[in-house]
Structure 1
Amino acid sequence: MSAGILIGVLLQVGNYLIGDLDFNIFSMTFSTYGFFVEGIFHAGGKIFVNALKMLVVPLVFVSLVCGTSSLSDPSKLGRLGGKSIALYMFTTFVAVAFAMSTALLFKPGEGFNPGTSASTDYVAKESPGFVQVIIDMVPSNPISAMAEGQMIPIIVFAILFGIAMTYAGEAGKRLTGFFNDLNDVIMNIVNIVMNFAPYGVFCLLAKLSATVDSSAILAIFNYFINVFVVLILHAVIVYPLLLKITTGLNPITLLIKMREVAMFAFSSASSSATLPLTMATARQKLGVSRSVSSFTLPLGATINMDGTAIMQGIATVFIAQVYSVDLSTVDLLMVVLTATLASIGAAGVPGVGLILLALVLQQVNLPVEGIALIIGIDRLLDMTRTVVNVTGDSTIATIVAKTEGELDEDIYNDKSLASQKSVIE
């Protein structure tokens, strides 16, 4: 990341001080600035962005089918499942709405110079009316919707498909196995693309640093602060407030006992990798029963992506401001709806947040290339939002356990357990 920024800055400074230099390769003349910035770095960055866009439709469709078919199991979706899902969806909705409100208020993207190429090369498409948006949510041709990247219709069709699979008997079970296998394959493709992410990020940042002025650096810094502050506020205000209102428990106790989980989540940037530790902490330090924790926490690792929703909400508004696009009320509602629904079935592994951001940007007709503006600082934010995600998982598990009479309050209130270094043998 730093290498890309450094090389981009050196190219820009060199071009300013001594001008563009020409060199010959195979009897062909190239300019230094154009060869690297508009050639190698541009191509490498575009290939990486295309790879992210390539993954959006298959990842979202298959993961939603898998997630919905599992969640719609009649043996699971009783009062316990319904309550868990409702709370997870509520906190995700609050997260993205709160995030977008702060971005609209503080306008981090307005730090860009409106004369830069980033803000003048893109012309926004006209948004459809609210009634048409509602109509288009149900696809007349789901295959066409996939080909055109119309994400809300794809999400609706995937959810319906997953629910139908649970009522299809043996045929549904066979399809469930197929989609689970397919999901594993797609996640391996995600891992392959993410293994090349350092090179893609290098190219994106090198070109960005070579073509933007100092105002862009300030804008990106403002974006980082906006996301980071909202993530912290959501973790230390929204979750504790929800826990206190619904259960009367002391939320400080939960936050203290979650320290080990938070540190592991921060270092791994993966809700799925943190799940064993989250479940052990919930049972042994928070007093959540095994029956509740074994269902609610894996469910949360699958559908509770509040940290990712916060990033998507702010990033969408930020990129719209950079490209001088005014998001309508319908657009803002679609961002909230898309980010909330897309969290169902999203894999809790590093890098998926950027793919889901591409989904949200496409839904409101913003250029996916805008991801290049924020990708360089996303790793640290990814680590932070994973902490938010696992904190939310444990909070909701505690609330559900308390309201179902499945919480051992003696364990929850035992302060000596907070000092235990590890709950995993």
Structure 2
Amino acid sequence: MAFNARRFKVYVFPAALVFSILSGGLAGAFLGPRALFLKPFGDIFLNLLLAAVVPLVFFSISSAVSHLRLDKLLKILLTMLAAFLFTGLVAAIFMFVIVRIFPPAQGVLINLSPQGPVNTIHLSDQLVNMLSVPDFTELLSHKNMLPLILFSLLVGLATASAGDKGRPFAVFLQAGTEVFMHVIRLIMYYAPIGFFAYFAVMAADLGPRFLTSYVRAICIYYVSASIYFILAFTWYAWLAGGILRVKLFWGHVYFPMMTAFATCSSAASIPANLQATRNMGVADDICETVVPLGAMLHKDGSVLGAVLKIAFLFGIFGLSLSGPADILSAIGIAILVGTVMGAIPSGGMLGEMLIISTYGFPSQTLIMIAAISIMIDPLATMLNVTGDSVCSMLVERWIKKEGAR
């Protein structure tokens, strides 16, 4: 019994947040305009998160990159990256088709103005604004998340290339990451109150339709992600070696699948996933490279969730997600959220900030899509983990084909 308690302890805090969301929504619907007195409590939580996210991004990304060693197994790594991008692209396109058919925020409209234009920016201007800022001080704002990420990558690469002279700075970056991770943990103790207050105010403004839109979005994710899991992963396994690989995959995927669903942690599922991938017949040198790195860099479930969140925000603001620039940026952002963002601590939250800053949505929407992340986390983690197994098969297949030429 003690083992089971430890195993499911991870659900206690998310369950508390889900309870806060539901109870806050019900309180707002019951109190109506009187719930507005709760608004400062929600704003405090949001402001604390926004203040901590910029230094967290800088330290965590720079520190992670400064410790990278990609001088070994180059062929495996490049093939692995191709497999990750391939499955991520398929996942993004699949979910985009789903949200076009079943809009997740249908019937809900929020009268909040985005911080900047969303549909009127030309593709070239949007790329410039997404990737760069004209002044260093503008990096120190959560509104410019992608330029901050790119700058942090440059700092990390420079630290790694500096060798022994850069080691003291690498230690500083690692220490900064640990400190701000603890800052986020401290802030999250206030999260149940912040979520309760925020959703009470939103429900008071929008009524029952707001909570209904969340139920609709979550149902869309669980149904579509389950379909993707069965159909797409079967296809990937078939590409990796025909019907035999399909049987091996589905014959051994259940242990990491259930571990991921129970723990909501890609890292905690690595041992189970390594054993299952070996049982699928993948060579040790490939699975021991792809599975651990995939736990950080490959998250198909997160890609599906990112597209859903983007469509949800476009829907509640009454915007059309149909222009070429919007479609390409949505797919690109989703893949980025499922790859690069997965490699850093609190990557889910940073991915949500990236979505908000890219499209110019109000900072208040962070809590709205963070709530979606909490509720889809078990299934998303399961897809993230089992996707590493099937990608190991693809990597082995592609390397063998390349070697046969």
Fold shared by both chains (TM-score > 0.5): yes
The correspondence for 2:186, drawn from 185, 192, 196, is 192
Q: What is the one-letter code of the residue matched to 1:120?
A: N
**Paired position in structure 2 for 1:353:** 348
1:229 and 2:246 correspond: no
Task: Mark the CA change 1:13 to 1:187 in structure 2 (over 3 Å): closer, same or farther.
Answer: closer
Q: Which runs of 5+ in 2 are unaligned?
A: 1-17
Q: What is the one-letter code of the residue matched to 2:81?
A: I
Distance 1:345 1:67 in 2: 11
**Paired position in structure 2 for 1:333:** 328
Distance 1:14 1:156 in 2: 45
Task: Mark the CA change 1:10 to 1:138 in structure 2 (over 3 Å): closer, same or farther.
Answer: closer
**Paired position in structure 2 for 1:132:** 125
**Paired position in structure 1 for 2:111:** 120
Q: Pairwise mapping of residues 288-367 of structure 1 onto structure 2 (< 5 A)?
A: 288-327=282-321, 328-346=323-341, 352-367=347-362
- SS in structure 2 of the partner of residue 150 of structure 1: helix
Residues 298 and 342, structure 2, Cα contact 8 Å, conserved in 1: no
Distance 2:358 2:191 in 1: 24
Alpha-carbon distance, 1:82 to partner: 0.8
The correspondence for 1:390, drawn from 364, 385, 388, is 385
Alpha-carbon distance, 1:51 to partner: 3.3
**Paired position in structure 1 for 2:238:** 244
Alpha-carbon distance, 1:81 to partner: 0.7
Distance 2:391 2:263 in 1: 22
The correspondence for 2:90, drawn from 91, 94, 114, is 94
**Paired position in structure 1 for 2:7:** none
**Structure of greater Rg:** 1
1:183 and 2:177 correspond: yes
Range with greater deviation from structure 2 (369-378 or 380-389): 369-378
**Paired position in structure 1 for 2:205:** 211
Alpha-carbon distance, 1:388 to partner: 0.5
1:277 and 2:272 correspond: yes
The correspondence for 1:42, drawn from 39, 52, 62, is 39
Q: Deviations over 1:38-66 (max 9, x none)?
A: 22x31222222233333443344434334
- SS in structure 1 of the partner of residue 106 of structure 2: helix
The correspondence for 1:9, drawn from 26, 29, 43, is 26
Q: What is the one-letter code of the residue matched to 2:111?
A: T
- SS in structure 2 of the partner of residue 270 of structure 1: coil
Distance 2:159 2:269 in 1: 30
Distance 1:143 1:7 in 2: 37
Identity %: 22
Residues 125 and 365, structure 1, Cα contact 8 Å, conserved in 2: yes
TM-score norm. by structure 2 comes to 0.82
**Paired position in structure 2 for 1:370:** 365
The correspondence for 1:201, drawn from 169, 176, 195, is 195
Task: Mark the CA change 1:166 to 1:183 in structure 2 (over 3 Å): closer, same or farther.
Answer: same
Residues 302 and 348, structure 1, Cα contact 8 Å, conserved in 2: yes
Distance 1:189 1:81 in 2: 34
Alpha-carbon distance, 1:336 to partner: 2.5
Residues 270 and 348, structure 1, Cα contact 8 Å, conserved in 2: no
Alpha-carbon distance, 1:372 to partner: 4.0
The correspondence for 2:80, drawn from 68, 78, 84, is 84
Alpha-carbon distance, 1:143 to partner: 4.3
Q: What is the one-letter code of the residue matched to 1:53?
A: L
How many pairs does the alignment contain? Answer: 379
Residues 91 and 304, structure 2, Cα contact 8 Å, conserved in 1: yes
Alpha-carbon distance, 1:349 to partner: 9.3
Compute the RMSD of aligned alpha carbons.
3.0
Q: Deviations over 1:272-305 (max 9, x none)?
A: 122222223323x223333222321121111112
**Paired position in structure 1 for 2:13:** none
**Paired position in structure 1 for 2:148:** 154
Alpha-carbon distance, 1:238 to partner: 2.0
Distance 1:379 1:372 in 2: 10
Alpha-carbon distance, 1:382 to partner: 0.6
Residues 298 and 387, structure 2, Cα contact 8 Å, conserved in 1: yes
Alpha-carbon distance, 1:4 to partner: 5.2
Task: Mark the CA change 1:12 to 1:169 in structure 2 (over 3 Å): closer, same or farther.
Answer: closer
Residues 239 and 392, structure 1, Cα contact 8 Å, conserved in 2: yes
Distance 2:138 2:247 in 1: 50
Alpha-carbon distance, 1:359 to partner: 2.0
- SS in structure 1 of the partner of residue 341 of structure 2: coil
Range with greater deviation from structure 2 (316-325 or 136-145): 136-145
- SS in structure 1 of the partner of residue 105 of structure 2: helix
Q: Which runs of 5+ in 1 are unaligned?
A: 16-32, 407-425
Residues 103 and 317, structure 1, Cα contact 8 Å, conserved in 2: yes
Task: Mark the CA change 1:335 to 1:261 in structure 2 (over 3 Å): closer, same or farther.
Answer: same
Range with greater deviation from structure 2 (372-381 or 266-275): 372-381
Q: What is the one-letter code of the residue matched to 1:320?
A: F
**Paired position in structure 2 for 1:19:** none
Structure with a larger share of its residues in helix:
2
Range with greater deviation from structure 2 (187-196 or 354-363): 187-196
Task: Mark the CA change 1:162 to 1:382 in structure 2 (over 3 Å): closer, same or farther.
Answer: same
Task: Mark the CA change 1:277 to 1:209 in structure 2 (over 3 Å): closer, same or farther.
Answer: same
Task: Mark the CA change 1:68 to 1:261 in structure 2 (over 3 Å): closer, same or farther.
Answer: same
Alpha-carbon distance, 1:80 to partner: 0.7
